[in-house]
Chain A
Amino acid sequence: MQPPSDLLAAPETEAADTATAVENPTVGIDQSVGDFTYDVKYAFDAGSGLNEGVIRYISDVKKEASWILDFRLKAYQTFLDKPMPTHWATKDLENIDFNKIRYYLSQGQKPKRTWDEVPDDIKRTFERLGIPEQERKFLAGVEAQFDSEAAYSNVKDIVAKQGVIFCNSTEALREHPEIFRKWFGKVIPTGDNKFSALNSAVFSGGSFIYVPPGVKVAMPLQAYFRINAENFGQFERTLIIADEGAEVTYMEGCTAPKFSTSTLHSAVVELVALKGAKIQYITVQNWAPNVFNLVTKRAIAMEDAEVKWIDCNIGSRLTMKYPGVILKGKRARGEVISIALANDGQHQDTGAKMIHAADDTTSVIVAKSISVGQGRSTYRGVVHIPKHLKGCKNNTECDALLINTNSRTDTYPAIVVRGDTHAVQHEASVSKVSEDMIFYMQQRGLTEAQAMSLAVNGFVNDLVRQFPMEYSVELKRLIDLEMEGSVG
């Protein structure tokens, strides 16, 4: 697929012209846009395969404190001890060859603060993904990760003045350990699963954010993740702490070029919403169709706090991702909005986990999936309400749309309720686009493909509307693209 070159040719001039820029909003979720690669000379390369030496190398390059190295080595042992979860998950996991993967690639250690300092080849990559215009227009901060390390990071002065810290994992643990060490690895323990252990052993990059008490970050903070090298494993680590009464929205986009061999992305994302805080975390994932995307995402919500995950999975070969919220404080609220689109050769195994751990907590899960061609989408969810609690509520809705006769969808919810003061409901449906609807639109002059595309957009419309504007526009365009050639 050729990238639409006119879209990307002149980011500098475009940036000045707001009207044009709105028409070409956030790139980085269109598969064709991300499908390019550069030869990059890496200053630091840990080579292929994983052993203790690789972990010591990464830690050494980053000049980490000794507790972090100990944490990594312990995690490596946990990774080796844990079996692949294939007794419930897809056997496709067995195709990951951990010895072929490159665990650390970087051009330099210190992220650049101004765009001009960034090396030209990396700058070209990110300009094609549209990052600088984004920032200049309205974004509060951008962190761009190229393979293992952040290549560019900046927080607008105004946000920094409010005391917001937004940096990568290495910097955060080195410069603000008093803030981040307390929660690092606490929401998702190393041994949570095999891939969280792997991430804990070799993590690099990612975003660490701290929002001080009462600070409301008006504009979204944003990150881009980009895999450039073949056989590469990206293991970013994100930790967002919203202190009491703070509010923050975070958006991430992911792309990778198509390689002939598979690539691994295994992130760990931890969110901490202290008393009365609000965190909204938006992901638009558009990895190339050879990326294994095995991500652990979990939030902890204290008293009166709110956490909302908006998760959109379009790309990758296999995605396994179940964003969760531990509702730890009274009246905490958790929400997961999930959209998955699985095309030929793709398996989107997504869902949500809601662990109620205090009285009067509420949670909502809305998941919609679309299976096209031989694509397979799976919803897997957990809702857990233990017996000592009172007045917990959960509402779950999963809808699946099947486009072709050989498309596949699965739903595997697990709901545990103890005691008689809770209200829990789960509903799921599977359907296809109705022939009446298509016929009606064709009557009015639309082609079958246009009608199908419109129907699919209608199916996810109520969720897409909750996305920030530039993401929802792009998502609609992306769905149109994926629906091309799916009928007839």
Chain B
Amino acid sequence: MSAPALSSSPVEGFTSTRFAQHLSHRAYLPAWWLEAKKAAWNQFNALPLPSRTDENWRFSDLKGLDLSGFTVPEDHSRQIPNVSSFPEAAEIVFSNRQVVARSHVSADLAAKGVIFAPLDEALRQHGDLVRTYFQKHPANLGSEKFVALNTALTVAGGFLYVPADVEVALPFVIQHTLTGHNVSVFPHTIVVLGPRAKATLVEFFVSGGSSSDAGRSLANAAPTERQFVSGVNDLHAAEGAQLTYVGAQRWSRETLAIQVNSIAAERDARVLSLNLHLGGRQARHESHSRLLGPGADGDSEFDQRPLQTHVSPRTTSNLPYKNALLDTAKTIFSGLIIVEPDAQKTDAYQKNRNLMLSDTAEAHSLPGLEIQANDVKCSHGSTSARIDGEQEFYLKARGINPTEARRLLVSAFFEEVLNKLENEDLHAALTGLIAAQFKK
């Protein structure tokens, strides 16, 4: 059962006084935005924390949801490492909640109408555009309370808009670094791709540890500060658009991280969403993809609670979800494919493969289907097993040491997912992050 401390009353750090202060500092933002924040604040207070009987939180550690003690940081550390190591279209780096480094889009892209700005700036300069897409299709997968808190307190966030027919080859990068003990942050990213537009957005989430530890990079050992992150993303792909979204997180070992993504794909759009989870004490990832227009295609690798809703006919989706479990890792995969009555000719696949690399690892798998149309092809598969002994033996017989053999087999295991990335530099960067896990 949840501890008595987990009541619906405002918790320490997230008090009404604190919220009033937050609003008063942002009086310069559009009125609708401030109203949305007030409504969300009330919703956050009204909603209860998830309980043991909540099916959306089955198997989850509810004790870990204790929000007491967390505070909203006001300052940021001085030195922030830049973790991305590949050519970018533009970049925004946040430390705690503030922009500490930023590169702008090229004049050429700006002339075509591409907007890439921190949320604060986007609200002031493109308020109506943000308003159209902000929480247009909220995900309802159990974390409504945390989404409300995100809306109420979000400051750090990015807005990417790529107009119709514009293709951007290089990735856009947003980095969030969280520093300090008991701090919290609420990133909110909105991506809007116009018809037939093409773009890639990469988000890095990393704990910077105490300020003296600055200089850590995503690949180094994780710091241990207790931190709280509630992130929300709204991703929209209009007719025929192609969006690649990559989220890579390496939070501290004591971080509670909840990420809720809402993905909407219109007619013939393709969305590839790839999420790499390396850190955190408890990381929950909810993702609700809506395949709205006929022929839309979602192709994703998720961490926790993906929901694929097929609303229109002739849509396809594919979720390969792979976990390699080291040490005492625990994963929960609760995937659901919903095919609504009108969504005939749907092709939907879900795959959860757990590679058990330690005897103390724990894998929970709940792959679900709710099908209400008959002319469909839907399937899911789930496997949990150790590394194939024969494959390991083959490598060892050729003089490769056991650690290296395991590393190779794990990279191969993830390759099926990573090779969906077109950008080779990005592919190399992510492969490097996974390889770093085996250096310890």
Q: Which of A62-70, A237-245, A409-417, A458-466 contacts B (4 or more CB under 8 A)?
A: A409-417
**Residue from the list B54, B370, B381 in contact with A425, Cβ < 8 A:** B381
Query: Which A residues touch B54, using CB under 8 A?
Result: 87
Please pick, from B59, B354, B376, the residue contacting A430 in the complex, using a CB distance under 8 A: B376
Judge whether B368 and A420 touch: CB under 8 Å: no
What's the least CB distance linking B54 to chain A, in Å? 7
Segment 54-80 of B: residues with Cβ below 8 Å from A: 54-55, 58-59
CB distance from B74 to the nearest CB of A (A): 41
10 pairs, A vs B, C-beta closer than 8 Å: A87-B55, A387-B362, A410-B368, A418-B361, A423-B386, A424-B382, A426-B365, A429-B378, A430-B376, A432-B374
Q: Which residues of B contact A400 (CB under 8 A)?
A: 369, 371
- Contact call A425/B382, Cβ cutoff below 8 A: yes
**CB-CB < 8 A to A261: which residues of B?**
none
**What's the interface size class on A, roughly?**
35 or more
A359 to chain B, nearest CB (A): 13
Output the nearest chain A residue to B58 by Cβ-Cβ distance: A414
Residue in B58, B356, B374 whose CB lies within 8 Å of A420: B356
The answer to the question of B364 belonging to the interface, with a C-beta cut-off of 8 Å to chain A, is yes
For the complex with contacts A87-B54, A420-B359, 10 further pairs of A-B residues with Cβ separation under 8 Å are A405-B375, A408-B371, A410-B368, A414-B364, A417-B365, A419-B361, A422-B385, A428-B380, A429-B379, A430-B371
A211 contacts B by Cβ under 8 Å: no
Q: Which residues of B contact A410 (CB under 8 A)?
A: 368-371
A405–B343 CA distance with the chains assembled, in angstroms: 10
> B369, A387: Cβ atoms under 8 Å?
no
Query: CB distance B362 to A417 under 8 Å?
Result: yes
Chain B residues within 8 Å of A425, by CB: 381-385
Contact assessment for B385 and A424 in the assembled complex, using a CB-CB cutoff below 8 Å: yes
Let me know if B48 is at the binding interface, CB within 8 A: no
- Fill in one digit per residue for B330-365: 1 if any A CB lies within 8 Å of its CB, else 0: 000000000001001000000000101111111111
0/1 per residue, A48-75, Cβ < 8 Å to B?
A: 0000000000000000000000000000
Contacts of B361 in A (CB 8 A): 418-420
Given A404-B374, A411-B369; A430-B379 close (CB under 8 Å):
yes
B373 at interface, CB cutoff 8 A: yes
The answer to whether B344 touches A423, judged by C-beta atoms less than 8 angstroms apart, is no
Q: Is A332 an interface residue (CB 8 A)?
A: no
A-B residue pairs, 8 tightest by C-beta:
A402-B374, A420-B356, A429-B379, A417-B384, A411-B369, A415-B365, A426-B382, A430-B378
B53 contacts partner chain A, Cβ-Cβ < 8 Å: yes
Q: Give residues in A with beta carbon < 8 Å to B.
A: 87-88, 387, 400, 402-432
B384 contacts A415, C-beta separation under 8 Å: yes
B13 CB within 8 Å of chain A: no
- Do A432 and B372 have beta carbons less than 8 Å apart? no
Bound together, the chains give a CA A422 to CA B358 distance in angstroms of 11
A407 touching B356 in the complex, CB below 8 Å, given contacts A414-B364, A420-B386, A426-B381: no
Would you call A421 and B372 a contact (CB within 8 A)? no
Residues of A within 8 A of B380 (CB): 411, 426-428
Partner of A428, one of B55, B358, B359, B379: B379
Name which residue of chain B comes closest to A386, CB basis: B362
Name the distance in Å between B52's Cβ and chain A's nearest Cβ.
10
With beta carbons under 8 angstroms apart, the residue of B55, B364, B372, B373 that contacts A415 is B364
CB of A420 within 8 A of CB of B381, answer no
Min CB distance A151 to B, Å, is 42
Cβ of A62 to closest chain B Cβ, rounded Å? 37
Q: Which residues of B contact A421 (CB under 8 A)?
A: 359, 386
Check A416 against B369 for contact (C-beta < 8 Å): no
Question: Min CB distance, B321 to chain A, in Å?
Answer: 13
Task: Please indicate the chain A residues that have their CB under 8 angstroms from the CB of B53 in the complex.
Answer: 87
Q: Which residue of A lies closest to B382 (CB)?
A: A426
State the CA gap A416–B59 with chains docked (Å). Answer: 9
A416's partner among B344, B362, B375, B381 (CB-CB below 8 A) is: B362
Q: Interface 1/0s, chain B 211-223, versus A by CB < 8 A?
A: 0000000000000
Q: Which residues of A contact B363 (CB under 8 A)?
A: 415-418
> Which A residues lie within 8 Å of B59 (CB)?
414, 416
Q: How far is the CB of B59 from chain A (nearest CB, A)?
A: 7
Residues on B with C-beta less than 8 A from A407 are: 372, 374
Residues in chain A near residue B405, CB distance under 8 A: none
Give Cα A403–Cα B375 distance, bound, in whole angstroms.
Answer: 9
Q: What chain B residues lie within 8 Å of A416 (beta carbons)? A: 59, 362-365
Which residue of chain B lies nearest to A397 when distances are taken between CB atoms in the complex? Answer: B381
Name the distance in Å between A433's Cβ and chain B's nearest Cβ. Answer: 9
Contact B368 A413 (CB under 8 A): yes
Which of chain A's residues has its CB closest to B354's CB?
Answer: A417
Q: Does B112 contact A (CB under 8 A)?
A: no
A406 in contact with B341 (CB, 8 Å): yes
The minimal Cβ–Cβ distance linking A54 to chain B, given in whole angstroms, is 30
Given A418-B362, A420-B359; A428-B373 close (CB under 8 Å): no
Q: Which residue of chain B is the closest to A393 with respect to CB atoms?
A: B385
Can you name the residue of chain B whose Cβ is closest to the Cβ of A416? Answer: B364
Task: Let me know if B247 is at the binding interface, CB within 8 A.
Answer: no
| Residue numbers in B under 8 Å from A413 (CB-CB) | 365-368, 382
Q: Closest CB-CB distance, A206 to chain B, in whole Å?
A: 31
* Residues of chain B lying within 8 A (CB to CB) of residue A417: 354, 356, 362-363, 365, 384
Q: How far is the CB of A96 from chain B (nearest CB, A)?
A: 20
Chain B residues near A415 (CB-CB < 8 A)? 363-366, 382, 384
B116 to chain A, nearest CB (A): 41
**With A406-B341, A423-B385, A424-B384 as contacts: A414 and B375 at CB distance below 8 Å:** no
Contacts of B374 in A (CB 8 A): 402-407, 432
Q: Does B377 contact A (CB under 8 A)?
A: yes
Q: Chain A nearest CB: distance from B340 CB in Å?
A: 11
User: In whole angstroms, how far apart are the Cα atoms of A424 and B381 in the complex?
Assistant: 11
A400-B371, A410-B370 known; A419 and B359 CB under 8 Å? Answer: yes
Report Cα–Cα, A70/B54, bound state, in Å: 34
Question: Chain A residue with minimal CB distance to B350?
Answer: A428
A417 to B362, CA, bound (A): 6
Distance in Å from the Cβ of B346 to the closest Cβ of chain A? Answer: 10
| A274–B143 alpha-carbon span in the complex (Å) | 46
Q: Which residue of A lies closest to B333 (CB)?
A: A415
For A387, the chain B residues whose CB sits under 8 A away are 359-360, 362
A419 to B53, CA, bound (A): 27
